[in-house]
Amino acid sequence: MIVIRFSIVIINMRLSLPPLLVVICSSALFSCTVNIQASAVAGQTDSNQANSKQANSNQVSKELVWGNNGISWGMAWLPNGDMLVTLRGGELKRLKQGATVADNVVGLPEIVVGGQGGLLDIALHPDYANNGWLYFSYVKADDSGNKSTAIMRAKLSGTTLVEQQDIYVATAYGKKNVHFGSRLAFDNKGYLYFSIGDRGYRDLNPQDISRDAGKIYRIHDDGRIPSDNPFVGMANAKTAIYSYGHRNPQGMIKHPITGDIWTHEHGPKGGDEVNLITKGKNYGWPIISYGVNYSGTRFTDLTEKDGMEQPKWYWDPSIAPSGMEFVTSNRYPNWQGNILVGSLKFGQLVMLSIEDNDVAKAQVVAEKLTRVRNVKQGPDGYLYVAIDGQGVFKLKSK
């Protein structure tokens, strides 16, 4: 039996937006606190906002699959069911199906570990069964110790990486240990998309297409630049760029039906965003934002501007989103067709309900998970969550 308590709070938001309702509910298993405040972006109505506060009745339990006290960043499954897990501390693990102890994979490049940097995301080529290529993002240093995000592909022979190839190395602008991104996703045409954060150089990188960082990129699976990328032929442009004006995207996923690429990114204090990525578009950072400096001061008074995209959803206060997945499995019938986002700040899973390529509402469907770093749907149809300092868990409906 579930007991639900409702508490309604009226919040006055800037920009003359209508008041929002925050509904706080709890159940015997997960106290689903909906501390998400969103503006009426992307055509949302007052009715949409009210619906976003309804609690999801579906309950899940978590079952430990693999325990680890590091930061499990990326997850991918081999055709035989073995799981690959990247650890930000610079390790790649192979967990055989049904095992609880993972093997260490050797052959990684020299990875710079520190702050938000290290070994980041991992993805298999869509035709992995035939070509054997896997891809990962990591932090690389140049000869001066300046750091950037790099994309490597390699093949796996047992527990050894072979045929390693860097296929994209962003220009390194400094030694800061922040805002590397990074997530990877293939689209239906076999293009590889990846994100790189602004590297902490807010006023230099995101709006300048002659510089790396603060961008979403699109390349061929071997690193070649597609001839129809939006800035091909433009003088001094980084032609791998697909969209720009991003802060630090740490969620990226392909829509299972449309093939569109969706992302989310960290805002500063407030202003975490969900975006539908469109070729050549400017997503505004830091010219427009729904966030402020961590000190509470403003770096911009603008939340919209001609020529700049509005997010499909934003959070204020920030939830610190990390990891993103479309749910297609019939193991979670109430979640099918929607996006799950992990929250580092609140230890939650947030479900974004998708209607007509917009986010209609957001609701917390699991809580008290500590710091959720990633969420992925496995080949068995179960959802797996990576939790900082704990490991990887399987979610089961009750």
Write down the H helix ranges in the chain.
46-51, 128-131
Q: Give the SS3 label for residue 343.
A: strand
Q: Is 255 a catalytic residue?
A: no
- 68's tokens: 């680890």
From CA 398, how far away is CA 382, in angstroms rounded?
13
The upper half-sphere exposure of residue 128, i.e. CA atoms within 13 Å in the direction of its Cβ, equals 18
Q: Give the SS3 label for residue 46.
A: helix
Residue 284 near residue 215, CB atoms below 8 Å: no
- The torsion angles phi and psi of 325, rounded to 5 degrees, stand at -155, 140
Q: Maximum distance among all alpha carbons in the chain? A: 64
CA pseudo-torsion sign 139, 261, 278, 300: negative
Q: Which residue type, as a one-letter code, is found at position 162?
A: V
Q: Which residue type, as a one-letter code, is found at position 304?
A: E
DSSP state of 131: H
Q: Which residue type, as a one-letter code, is found at position 19?
A: P
Q: Which of 179, 246, 264, 266 is catalytic?
A: 179
Beta carbons within 8 Å of 108's beta carbon, 6+ residues apart: 90, 91, 92, 119, 138, 161
Residue 101 near residue 93, CB atoms below 8 Å: no
The upper half-sphere exposure of residue 76, i.e. CA atoms within 13 Å in the direction of its Cβ, equals 23
Within its chain, how far is the Cα of 111 from the centroid?
Answer: 21
Residue 132 near residue 155, CB atoms below 8 Å: yes
- Nearest CA to 35 out of 267, 289, 288, 345 is that of 345
Task: Name the helix (H) or strand (E) containing 315.
Answer: strand 313-315
Catalytic positions are: 179
